[in-house]
């Protein structure tokens, strides 16, 4: 599977909610040395069959521990080291928010600006009963816009590379809002791309130059970039969960605030430490503004592109990211000057992401979690006829704007998630199928009349339910 870059806030908040169910009187010690962090990451990856490599850091005041570990136990330096840049996906969004905060500080922007004022005059921007989309709705994912633009021809291997300004604005002009902006949180890369484009347009400078001049350079993030790779920096090769190399994801520069940044572990440490109040002025003020809660009717616990999450009585700001071959996790407590960064050269968001490890590093009372592979019957596989296969064909809604489509070619079934590549389904038992390369098990359910009505998709210890449309 090649997941479309989409951080799902519900997944992280669900993990945090689970963590809150176990409160201890005294927290265990955190990883404070490289060796201690290495041991934790090795434990997390023990038995993992993805082959993923992790670059992890724990920042505690002026102390930082780092670890580079691969699931196969081999020397990680053959794939990742301190000079390796990872695609950080949606962790780019809070960086974009810092640019917006800077424009607000300069009096050139407001969270209550309508999106329409940041786009060309001829752009048709949807409203709901006269209520416009405001910038506060975009940075809290309550704009009402879908996850990705509709009717755009994506290449699953590199979905955003050929997207143009005309594509983006034309797709926006065809949108109809079904509810008032601010009413409900629904993650939208579409809205984030519009904001990224609008920021570059308002500033009169391309987005990469803006980030480099206003964020990267002041923090000394010399190995971080969008398209212009610095000398001496290597590009990590991304992988699918079954270990296959993937193509890099490229973004039109002015849309890259949605997820186009590439960064080394050390640079992400600098970025997180900058959130603690020590960034050079005026970036320190801009970062602080991005941490402030933003109120919307949805009541979503959001700051400017940061998810606000309470874990065992402490509030953290967090974001996860992923592209077709990479995963990332950043979370921190600016008051305690404590944070965690995890980067991986493998797309793990379909297998639970990096959240379990990240939360454990934030607070050792949270269970570390361990790799989980679905179990299926080991007896003789059932024989599937063409008529049998037809019974499963259909579209199964796993979440808003994300569905699994099952198709049949003769007696062979394939499944394909929204924006991803198709994969074969091998029968394992009655109404049970697997895609072993990615550790996926799909179990179909029938009603009293014997008709297939829903499915469950199990992967990496997580289960998603989908009703047949």
pLDDT of residue 438: 64
pLDDT of residue 439: 65
pLDDT of residue 119: 98
- One digit per residue, the tens of pLDDT, for the chain of length 469 reads 233 333 333 344 344 434 433 333 344 567 779 999 999 999 998 888 888 999 999 999 999 999 999 998 888 999 999 999 999 999 999 999 999 999 999 999 999 999 999 999 999 999 999 999 999 999 999 999 998 887 777 777 888 999 999 999 999 999 999 999 999 999 999 999 999 999 999 999 999 999 999 999 999 999 999 999 999 999 999 998 888 899 999 999 999 999 999 999 999 999 999 999 999 999 999 999 999 999 889 888 999 999 999 888 899 999 999 998 999 999 999 999 999 999 999 998 767 789 889 999 999 988 887 653 434 445 677 889 999 999 999 999 887 667 899 999 999 999 988 766 788 999 988 999 988 766 688 999 999 999 999 999 876 445 678 999 8
Residue 324, CA distances (Å) to 10, 82, 158, 231, 412 in order: 20, 22, 8, 25, 26
Q: Helix 165-173 crosses helix 189-203 at what angle (to 10 degrees)? A: 120
Tens digits of residue pLDDT in 366-380: 888 765 343 444 567
pLDDT of residue 361: 96
Per-residue tokens: 91: 């962790």
Per-residue tokens: 181: 């902006």
pLDDT of residue 37: 96
CA distance 33 to 39: 10
Q: What is the pTM of this model?
A: 0.80
Class of residue 258 by CB neighbours under 10 A (exposed 0-12, middle 13-18, buried 19+): buried
Residues near 21 by Cβ (< 8 Å), separated by ≥ 6?
Answer: none
Class of residue 262 by CB neighbours under 10 A (exposed 0-12, middle 13-18, buried 19+): buried
User: Tell me: domain 386-468, CATH 2.40.128.50, correct?
Assistant: yes
Whether the Cβ atoms of residue 444 and residue 455 lie closer than 8 Å to each other: yes
The residue ranges of every structural domain in the chain are 9-113+218-362, 386-468
Residues near 29 by Cβ (< 8 Å), separated by ≥ 6?
Answer: 364
pLDDT of residue 7: 33
Per-residue tokens: 369: 């979690």
Tell me the fold of 9-113+218-362. Answer: Beta-lactamase (3.40.710)
88 backbone dihedrals φ, ψ, rounded to 5°: -100, 0
CA distance 200 to 282: 19
Residues near 387 by Cβ (< 8 Å), separated by ≥ 6?
Answer: none
Q: Helix 355-362 crosses helix 34-45 at what angle (to 10 degrees)? A: 150
Q: How many CB atoms lie within 10 A of CB 266?
A: 20
3-state secondary structure the chain: CCCCCCCCHHHHHHHHHHHHCCCCCCCCCCCCCHHHHHHHHHHHHCCCCCCCEEEEEEEECCEEEEEEEECCCCCHHHCCCCCEEEECHHHHHHHHHHHHHHHHHCCCCCCCCEHHHHCCCCCCCCCECCECCEHHHHHCCCCCCCCCCCCCCCCCCCCCCCCCHHHHHHHHHCCCCCCCCCCCCCCCHHHHHHHHHHHHHHHCCCHHHHHHHHHHHHHCCCCCECCCCCCCCEECCCECCCCCECCCCCCCHHHHHHCCCEECHHHHHHHHHHHHHHCCCCHHHHHHHHCCCCCCCCCCCECCCCEEEEECCEEEEEEEEECCCCEEEEEEECCCCEEEEEEECECCHHHCCCHHHHHHHHCCCCCCCCCCCCCCCCCCCCCCCHHHHHCCCEEEEEECCEEEEEEEECCEEEEEECCCCEEEEEEEECCEEEEHHHCEEEEEEECCCCCEEEEEEEECCEEEEEEEC
């Amino acid at each position: 599977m090649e997941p479309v870059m989409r951080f799902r806030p519900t997944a992280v908040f669900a993990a945090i909610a689970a963590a809150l169910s176990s409160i201890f009187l005294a927290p265990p010690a955190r990883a404070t040395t490289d060796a201690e962090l290495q041991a934790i990451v090795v434990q997390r990856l023990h038995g993992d069959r993805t082959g993923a490599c992790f670059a992890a850091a724990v920042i505690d005041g002026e102390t930082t521990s780092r670890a580079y570990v691969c699931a196969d136990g081999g020397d990680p330096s053959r794939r990742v080291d301190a000079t390796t840049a990872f695609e950080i996906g949606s962790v780019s969004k809070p960086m974009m928010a810092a640019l917006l905060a800077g424009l607000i500080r300069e009096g050139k922007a407001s969270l209550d600006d309508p999106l329409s004022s940041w786009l060309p005059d001829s752009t048709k921007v949807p409203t709901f009963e006269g209520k416009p989309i405001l910038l506060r709705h975009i940075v809290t994912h309550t704009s009402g816009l879908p996850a990705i633009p509709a009717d755009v021809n994506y290449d699953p291997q590199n979905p955003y590379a050929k997207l143009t300004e005309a594509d983006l604005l034309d797709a926006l002009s065809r949108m109809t809002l079904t509810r008032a902006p601010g009413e409900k949180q629904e993650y939208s890369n579409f809205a984030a791309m519009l904001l990224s484009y609008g920021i570059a347009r308002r500033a009169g400078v391309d987005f990469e130059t803006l980030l480099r001049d206003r964020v990267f350079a002041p923090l000394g993030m010399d190995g971080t970039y969008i398209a212009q790779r610095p000398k001496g920096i290597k590009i990590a090769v991304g992988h699918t969960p079954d270990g296959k190399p993937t193509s890099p994801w490229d973004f039109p520069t002015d849309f890259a605030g949605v997820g186009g940044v590439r960064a080394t572990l050390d640079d992400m440490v600098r970025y997180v430490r900058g959130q603690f109040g020590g960034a050079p002025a005026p970036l320190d003020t801009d970062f602080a503004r991005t941490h402030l809660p933003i109120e919307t009717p949805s009541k979503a616990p959001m700051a400017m592109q940061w998810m606000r999450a309470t874990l065992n009585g402490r509030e953290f700001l967090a974001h996860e990211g992923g592209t077709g071959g990479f995963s990332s996790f950043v979370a921190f407590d600016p008051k305690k000057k404590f944070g965690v960064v995890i980067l991986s050269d493998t797309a793990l968001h379909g297998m639970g992401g990096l959240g379990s490890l990240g939360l454990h590093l934030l607070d050792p009372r949270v269970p570390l979690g361990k790799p989980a592979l679905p179990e299926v019957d080991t007896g003789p596989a059932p024989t599937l006829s063409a008529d049998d296969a037809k019974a499963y064909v259909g579209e199964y809604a796993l979440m808003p704007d994300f569905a699994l489509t099952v198709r049949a070619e003769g007696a062979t079934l394939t499944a394909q998630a929204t924006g991803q590549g198709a994969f074969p389904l091998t029968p394992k038992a009655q109404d049970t199928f697997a895609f072993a390369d990615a550790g996926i098990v799909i179990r179909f359910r029938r009603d009293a009349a014997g008709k297939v009505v829903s499915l469950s998709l199990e992967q990496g210890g997580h289960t998603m339910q989908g009703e047949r449309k």
